[in-house]
Structure 1
């Protein structure tokens, strides 16, 4: 618990509280039971509720330690529930939070925040900022996949990586879009206009960056599939050309490979060279015809 001293406000941070502990705090501050139950459920999406003089919001912090192949909201983000009133802020989260520690050391311990409204603005901004580094890394990954797609002669198997890239960008965009209600509600609640506008600018910047990654990934997937199809068509074209050359030659060889007793050409002195010559003439004729059609 952190106290605001002369300004008479409190910040109570609950890390992985039991239901009994949370209900005790709820009873002390008169928190709505439904909101308390919501704060215990880890899968809840961002929202904002005003219940009397208390505001309750659910936010989601990007988890920098998430697995590389994580691509769902629950895997990529951690929930932080916040109860806010003029005299107190209660934050609820599962597991330790570097973000909470950083806010406490940087702003509360140094006396840079003097009210719960200032603290809430710092908290919400810090939560949004957790998406800055992931958005930048996703853009770098997109550049990497573009280089792999266009600069490699061989087509590496990139679809799985592109899928996870697209999923991460989509998840981050969805969480931020749902979190916009927090900014809107804070603006309507009379928070400092410049600070709320700063939050909105950060939100727009992140959404724009993630949207560019999402669109770029979609375009790259389509391009990759087109290039893969083109490579397949080139292989089929080469195989078809080989078949066109060898089919008539195989036909000639098949005729003279039959073991009938009465085949005059087999007994002639120049029968074998004649068959080879016929094969050569047919192959040359096919080659010249393909060149005329610009197929070679």
Structure 2
């Protein structure tokens, strides 16, 4: 049970709102990237001092600040002071065991979810916590380590694709969430392709490796469900949220995002049902195979029962058995047993028992 709970030993006795890093430190040092833009200008740079980014907080441009590494609590405090963030937000940012959710604060929206992508080399799903803070003119993203799925968003900003340079931080939040949900769907599709291949394997040769695959995919699907289902819930909250930060034109895009997340949840449910069906099919195939083996053994046993009986009769220790002194008795016994065996084989074949 402990592996499903967030470890809270470090926070026992701490003042509420005091940021204490909880989780695995995945980088040695924190890095910060800032993209500041409007319709006509663009600044894309790595910064060493967070104060450089804070200066853009109250400008008319949209400022996207991406922080890689959550262990530096002093930096998190400086960000909190510079952007007037609630103390509980800072505490949650550095806790990597958060459940996906949305909270509305006075000057920003707090969103936390899992960012996942499919690693082609290993064939495994990589996952990390992502915190998004959306203000009127700024957006902050906090990642556990460098590497994310946001390159398409950065490309749209740099090359002025679509409307992203013409609108505010709420649309940038939509673009980021859209990329995350798209990657959810890609992951589900990749795992789904593997799941669909199991049916042919079960019909061809239902060995124990198939059972291992079914159980492995069930674990992956359950993990995806625990990640994506709560994300769908807070996207639904976003659609209904009455906040000045989310402009009415952007709500239409969030409703489309809700539809995508619903597709992801439906696909997960479908593949979970398929795995349950495949498990039943596997057990049925194994039982059928076992029944076939038992049938063959039973037929052999049935054939040898009369032969054993004949051999047993003539193997008794009576002094006088008439056939023992018959010149051709031995051959007659063999002939009778062979005829009996052939008759039984013919009878079983006629009944289509083998």
- Counting only pairs closer than 5 Å after superposition, residues 95-106 of structure 1 correspond to structure 2 as 95-106=145-156
Match of 1:169? 221
1:159 aligns to 2:219 (yes or no):
no
Confirm or deny that 1:16 pairs with 2:66.
no
Q: Aligned equivalents of 2:120 and 2:324: distance in 1? A: 76
Task: Report SS of the residue matched to 2:290.
Answer: helix
- The answer (yes or no) to whether the contact 1:4–1:115 under 8 Å persists in 2 is no
Structure with more contact order per residue of length (Cα contacts < 8 Å, sep ≥ 6): 1
**Matched-pair contact (CA < 8 Å) for 2:303–2:341:** yes
Structure 1 residue 117: deviation in Å?
0.7
SS at match of 2:149: helix
Distance 1:198 1:292 in 2: 64
Q: How does 1:94-133 map to 2 (within 5 A)?
A: 94-107=144-157, 110=160, 112-113=164-165, 114-133=167-186
The residue matched to 1:237 in structure 2 has which SS?
Answer: helix
Q: Who is 2:85 aligned against?
A: 31
Q: How far did residue 293 of structure 1 move?
A: 5.4
Cα gap change, 1:247/1:119 in structure 2, threshold over 3 Å: closer, same or farther?
same
* CA deviation after TM superposition for structure 1 residue 81, in Å: 0.7
CA shift, 1:273, in A, is: 0.9
Summarize the alignment of residues 268-287 of structure 1 with structure 2, pairs less than 5 Å apart. 268-284=326-342, 286-287=344-345
- Distance (whole Å) between structure 2 residues aligned to residue 2 and residue 293 of structure 1: 80
Query: Is 1:241 matched up with 2:329?
Result: no
Structure 2 counterpart of 1:2: 35
| Residue 209 of structure 1: how far off its partner (Å) | 2.3
Deviation at 1:187, TM superposition (A): 1.4
Structure having the higher helix fraction is 1
TM-score, length-scaled by structure 2: 0.73
What's the TM-score once normalised by structure 1's chain length?
A: 0.86
DSSP-derived class of the 1:64 partner: strand
Moved more, 212-221 or 239-248: 212-221
Q: 1:217 maps to which residue? A: 275
Quote the offset at 1:8 in angstroms. 3.5
**Structure 1 CA distance for aligned equivalents of residues 120 and 114 of structure 2:** 14
Deviation at 1:54, TM superposition (A): 1.9
Q: Structure 1 stretches of 5 or more lacking a match?
A: none
Give, in angstroms, the shift of residue 107 of structure 1: 2.2
Once the two structures are overlaid, the 10-residue window that deviates more, 61-70 or 179-188, is 61-70
Q: Where does 1:255-266 land on structure 2 (aligned, <5 Å)? A: 255-257=313-315, 264-266=322-324
SS of 2:110 mapped into structure 1: strand
- Provide the C-alpha distance between the structure 2 equivalents of 1:248 and 1:237, rounded to a whole number of angstroms: 18
| Structural RMSD (CA) | 2.7
Does 2:85 align with 1:85? no
